[in-house]
């Protein structure tokens, strides 16, 4: 097992794991993290800056993406980490398995925006991710029906936890997931890159 320092305390805590390219990080990402933190009653959110994204042709400079996430994740209970780079991993399923193995007494939840849920079935071992830890999906502009009818949502329809019961998600055995609606933030990394080429 690769030596790894976890970004913060974990034992017995409810921790959201929020991964992404963050190219660059923006207020929409913060909105997803803060919505999940509040609705799931999380102690911490760890932002996991992806080492790379096999589904994207370009994911930008890692250090710049890490810095952008640190600039946006201003909540004192949020930690931006390069844990995936430390592990030398690329696939989310492998990263999550490694984190869970190192902190078995933590209550982890995978956090993602609904825009990622639409293509979640294209991720390496996506069903394995769902079997590893609970998942909280936060609504994003323009993707409601596409996310709710995605292959993931259909495959794990029986494992859905009503949003009214979302605070129990962190201590629910996987597979388990919930879909959280909230006031929407329209900011996107794609638009920001277009404005600042």
Query: How many other C-beta atoms can be found within 10 angstroms of the C-beta atom of residue 195?
Result: 7
In a domain, 124, yes or no: yes
pTM for this predicted structure:
0.91
pLDDT confidence of residue 101: 94
Residue, of 146 and 75, whose pLDDT is higher: 75
On average, the pLDDT of the chain sits at 90
CATH number of the domain within which 149 lies: 3.40.50.620
Q: Which residues contact 42 (CB under 8 A, 6 or more apart)?
A: 14, 15, 16, 36, 77, 109, 170
In a domain, 157, yes or no: yes
In a domain, 63, yes or no: yes
Domain of residue 166: give its range.
Answer: 14-195
Burial class (CB in 10 A: 0-12, 13-18, 19+), 50: buried
**Region 53-64 average pLDDT:** 78
In a domain, 177, yes or no: yes
Please state the domain count of the chain.
Answer: 1
Tens digits of residue pLDDT in 120-175: 999 999 999 999 999 999 988 877 777 878 999 999 999 999 999 999 999 999 99
How many Å apart are CA 78 and CA 8, to the nearest integer?
10
Which of helix, strand or coil describes residue 189? helix
């Amino acid at each position: 097992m690769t030596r790894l320092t976890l970004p913060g305390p974990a034992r017995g805590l409810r921790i959201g794991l929020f991964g992404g390219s963050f190219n660059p990080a923006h207020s929409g990402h913060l909105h997803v993290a803060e919505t999940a933190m509040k609705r799931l009653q999380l102690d911490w959110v760890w932002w996991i800056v992806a080492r790379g994204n096999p589904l994207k042709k370009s994911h930008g400079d890692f250090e710049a993406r890490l810095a952008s996430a640190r600039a946006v994740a201003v909540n004192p209970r949020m930690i931006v980490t390069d844990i995936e780079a430390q592990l030398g991993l690329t696939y989310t399923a492998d990263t999550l398995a490694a984190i869970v193995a190192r902190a078995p007494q933590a209550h982890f939840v995978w956090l993602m925006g609904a825009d990622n849920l639409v293509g979640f079935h294209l991720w390496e071992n996506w069903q394995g991710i769902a079997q590893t830890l609970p998942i909280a999906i936060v609504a994003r502009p323009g993707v409601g029906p596409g996310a709710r009818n995605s292959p993931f949502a259909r495959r794990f329809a029986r494992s859905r936890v009503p949003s009214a019961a979302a605070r129990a998600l962190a201590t629910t055995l996987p597979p388990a997931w919930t879909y959280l609606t909230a006031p929407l933030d329209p900011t996107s990394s794609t638009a920001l890159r277009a404005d600042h080429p």
